[in-house]
Structure 1
Amino acid sequence: MSQIFDFLFGQYATYDTLDIVLELIAAVFTIASVVYSKQNNVLVFPTGMICTAIFVYLLLKWGLLGDMMINGYYFVMSVYGWYVWTKKVDGIAVTPITRTTRKEHLLSAIIFITSAIFVYIVYIIFDKIEHWTSYVDMITTGIFFVGMWLMAKRKIENWIYWIIGDIITVPLYFYKGLTFSSILYFALTIIAIFGYLAWKKNLDKSVVIA
Structure 2
Amino acid sequence: MIEYFFSQYSGYSTFNITLEIVAIIFGLLSVWFAKKDNILVFPTGLVSTFIYAYLLWQWSLLGDSMINVYYFIMSIYGWYHWTRKKGDVDEFPVSVMTNKEKAMSVVIFILTIIFVIAVYVYFDKFTSWYSYVDTFLTAIFFVGMWLMAKRKIENWIFWIVGDLLSIPLYFAKGYTFTSFQYIIFTIIAVYGYLEWKKILNSSQNLEPHQL
Give the structure-2-normalised TM-score. 0.96
Aligned match of 2:195 in 195, 198, 208? Answer: 198
Distance in structure 1 (CA, Å) of the matches to 2:26 and 2:19: 11
- Tell me, what secondary structure is at the counterpart of 2:185? helix
Displacement of 1:92 in angstroms is 2.9
Quick one: which of 159, 162, 165 aligns to 1:162?
159
Question: What count of residue pairs does the alignment treat as equivalent?
Answer: 207
Q: Does 1:141 align with 2:138?
A: yes
Q: Which amino acid aligns with 1:89?
A: K
2:57 corresponds to 1:34: no
Question: For residue 14 of structure 1, what is the aligned residue in structure 2?
Answer: 11
Q: Is 2:79 the counterpart of 1:85? A: no
TM-superposed CA distance for 1:133, in Å, is 1.2
Structure-2 residue corresponding to 1:94:
91
Provide the rounded CA distance (Å) in 1 between the counterparts of 2:15 and 2:202: 46
Distance in 1, Cα, partners of 2:204 & 2:86? 21
Q: Once the two structures are superposed, what CA deviation does each residue of 1:114-167 show, in whole Å capped at 9, x if it has no partner?
A: 111111100000011100111110000000000000000000000000000000
Alignment pair present for 1:186 and 2:183: yes
Is 1:64 the counterpart of 2:61? The answer is yes
What code does the residue aligned with 1:143 have? I
Unmatched 5+ stretches in structure 2: none
Paired residue secondary structure (1:55): helix
Corresponding residue SS for 1:129: coil
Report how far residue 89 of structure 1 moved.
2.7
Residue 81 of structure 1 aligns to which amino acid in structure 2? Answer: G
Q: Equivalents in 2 of 1:162, 1:135: separation in Å?
A: 18
- Listed as ranges, the gaps of 5+ residues in structure 1 are none
Superimposed CA distance per residue, residues 6-39 of structure 1 (whole angstroms, 9 cap, x where no aligned partner): 1100010000000000000000000000000000
